[in-house]
Structure 1
Amino acid sequence: MSGFDVGARLKQLRLRAALSQRELAKRAGVTNSTISLIEQNSVSPSVSSLKKILDAMPASISEFFAGEQSSQEKVFYRASELTEIGDGQLSWRLVGARRPNRSMSIIHERYPPGADTGDDMLEHDGEEGGVVVAGTIELTVDGEARLLTAGDAYYFDSRLPHRFRNVSDNECVIVSANNPPSFSDGSGEHHHH
């Protein structure tokens, strides 16, 4: 895993947005201590809580992990060059995180047994799809749950509430793509009509 400094990056973006720890916590609906613990790297935030905090600024997950944009457009990436954006339990490795003007995200996802994206279902603009490469995943989309195994695939509108859970005893590996490239539309607002 890359030694990405989550705490320093959060602080950098928070200061850029001119928010105090308290103000950011209030907007994101988390406790004050959560922000300071994350900035001190005392706790590692889950994907869903990091997303809530970033939405409150607003900033996108991909912007968060891109750090300083590098301008060159790489074509080939070694496994070690993918950017880890998982939460310490599940691993999501993003292809081309620093590529300028990316129009999609391709992610190599690994879910150890018991890994779960969380009770608070993910919802964001765009669409996503993927193919299960190994293992079994339980995918719930808009209230419908399916067990998918190696070779099975999915494709859905990301505005539908969704959740990935590995209910098996083996690691599950998925290669997924989503569009637009962030996990957030950046406005912090979600319109449901």
Structure 2
Amino acid sequence: MAGDFRRAHGAGGEAGAGEGEAEGQDIGARLRELRKMYGLSQRELAKRAGVTNGTISLIEQNRISPSIGSLKKVLGGFPISIADFLTLDLKPRAKVFYAAKELREIAGGDVSFRLVGRDTRGRAIQMMHERYKPGADTGEEMLSHAGEECGIVISGVLQLTVGGEVRRLVPGDAYYFDSRLPHRFHNPGTVDCVIVSACTPPSF
């Protein structure tokens, strides 16, 4: 079948001599799942990829086993690499969506850190909703840890110290720095300061 597919659809050199085939996986089911995730019909995907509708249909039915080159051409209709297509879990098993009440409070008091997710084990990034009451800060002692962090001020005023620099940030302003630099967060305003932040690797 794969040889017939190359002869029928690869006359232009899609699959060169010696090129392997995508074996050992249910390519058809994965392609169908991916296409539906992006809300595409077979016709729309075929147009994007520059192949015939029949090609997409036959692959999804596993009636042909495409060469790696041919599969790469079909996947050109998506923003995904062939490696990710073959390895990515297309049906996430971990929790994806979180209601506001599901964010986990890890601080409390004058400074509130609400974490997205119950914990950060196995995660490469930590994201939080931060709130600082007027006059609140992260303490006299400067913070320092491995990683990088960034954030956007949503409301209020934030006075951020990073290394030897001090800056007052207002809504819409943002920051991004190497977390190994000594840093401190302070709200010098008269209303709560709210920030949405991210840190990698997770520090909590």
TM-score w.r.t. the length of structure 2 is 0.53
Q: Which residue of 2 aligns with 1:191?
A: none
User: Separation in 2 of the partners of 1:97 and 1:181?
Assistant: 13
Q: Which residue of 1 aligns with 2:185?
A: 164
Higher-Rg structure is 2
Q: Which residue of 2 aligns with 1:130?
A: 151
Which residue among 88, 111, 116 is the counterpart of 2:132?
Answer: 111
In structure 2, the residue corresponding to 1:102 is in which secondary structure? coil
Letter of the 2:140 partner, please give it: D
How far 1:182 moved relative to its partner?
2.1
**Higher RCO structure (Cα 8 Å, ≥6 apart):** 1
Q: Which residue of 2 aligns with 1:143?
A: 164
Unaligned runs of 5+ in 1: 1-71, 184-193
User: Separation in 1 of the partners of 2:118 and 2:181?
Assistant: 25
Sequence identity percentage: 60
4+ residue segments displaced more than 6 Å: none
User: Separation in 1 of the partners of 2:118 and 2:157?
Assistant: 27
User: Separation in 2 of the partners of 1:82 and 1:133?
Assistant: 17
How far 1:98 moved relative to its partner?
3.1
Unaligned runs of 5+ in 2: 1-92
Letter of the 1:89 partner, please give it: D
Letter of the 2:131 partner, please give it: R
Letter of the 1:137 partner, please give it: L
User: Separation in 1 of the partners of 2:119 and 2:193?
Assistant: 26
User: Separation in 1 of the partners of 2:162 and 2:133?
Assistant: 20
How far 1:102 moved relative to its partner?
1.0
User: Separation in 1 of the partners of 2:186 and 2:174?
Assistant: 15
Report the aligned-residue RMSD. Answer: 1.3
User: Separation in 2 of the partners of 1:99 and 1:138?
Assistant: 27
User: Separation in 1 of the partners of 2:199 and 2:192?
Assistant: 22
In structure 2, the residue corresponding to 1:173 is in which secondary structure? strand
